Amino acid sequence: MVTIIHGDDLVSSRNFFLDKKTKENGILFDGSKLYITDIIQAFEGESLFFETKDFFVEDFFAKRKQDAEYQKILDYIKNNEEKINITFWEGKDVGKAKTGIFKKPLVKTFKLPQSLFLFLDSLRPNAGPNLIRLFHQSIKTTEVRILFSMLIRQIRLLIALSENGNTRDVIDEVKRLAPWQKSKLAKQAGYFSTQELLKIHEALYKMDLASKTSSFPLSLTETIDFFLLDL
């Protein structure tokens, strides 16, 4: 069986993957360095008979170069899908194009809750009380560190799409956005000046550094509360 574990909830998907690997005591490979010989050796070995083994691959679709070797690996797996046990873990949502490559894969998708995106979309100047309410709703289902990382990413995107932003064509995250996403973010960026967004980004950077070095007296949740009040 082929199992694909993916989604934008990185922590949950990763924990599920590692728990599965521990229970099944499988062979682990880095997807970016995977070759057809690794697959054949793992599943066939020195035996004349095909053995069922548990094989785990990290970031194959995201990081493996899509060359002839890549296609050989996919062809081998598709031709032996019912005889082998292979689990793919991807550190992001890979979409239906990838999960639909195989005939009958078991797909486990871990999505971040909508409350998180509602919080990020509601970032505005002078919206402190409402933002704090949405923030605390979000951390009921999302780890505060993940939310904080998403907050930094959101500000970075707003800077790139602000009226005077000069990183529009540099940031890969912007290049991957759909037109409607860019339009929505550009509208949100319009609530701030580029200078304000740069100051916010600097403040978030200092908060991140302080939380990682334990040099701030407050918890990360409390620090974000105060940040949102001052936004």
Write down the pLDDT at residue 2: 95
Q: Give the tens place of pLDDT for each residue, 163-178.
A: 765 554 456 778 777 8
Question: Does residue 197 have a pLDDT over 50?
Answer: yes
Split at pLDDT 50, 70, 90, the class of 49 is: very low
42 or 130: which carries more pLDDT confidence?
A: 130
Q: Where are the domains positioned within the chain? A: 2-109, 114-229
3-state secondary structure the chain: CEEEEECCCHHHHHHHHHHHHHHHCCEEEEHHHCCHHHHHHHHHCCCCCCCCCEEEEECHHHHCCCCHHHHHHHHHHHHCCCCCEEEEECCCCCCHHHHCCCCCCEEEECCCCHHHHHHHHCCCCCCHHHHHHHHHHHCCCCCHHHHHHHHHHHHHHHHHCCCCCCCCCCCHHHHCCCHHHHHHHHHHHCCCCHHHHHHHHHHHHHHHHHHHHCCCCCCHHHHHHHHHHCC
**Domain 114-229 is of which CATH architecture?**
Up-down Bundle (1.20)
Same fold, 2-109 and 114-229: no
Write down the pLDDT at residue 209: 86
Write down the pLDDT at residue 62: 86
Split at pLDDT 50, 70, 90, the class of 50 is: very low
Write down the pLDDT at residue 164: 65
> Domain 2-109 classified CATH 3.40.50.720?
no
Q: What is the pTM of this model?
A: 0.72
Question: Does residue 181 have a pLDDT over 60?
Answer: yes
- Across all residues in the chain, what is the average pLDDT? 88
Q: Give the tens place of pLDDT for each residue, 70-126.
A: 999 999 999 998 888 999 999 988 988 888 999 989 999 999 899 999 999 999 999
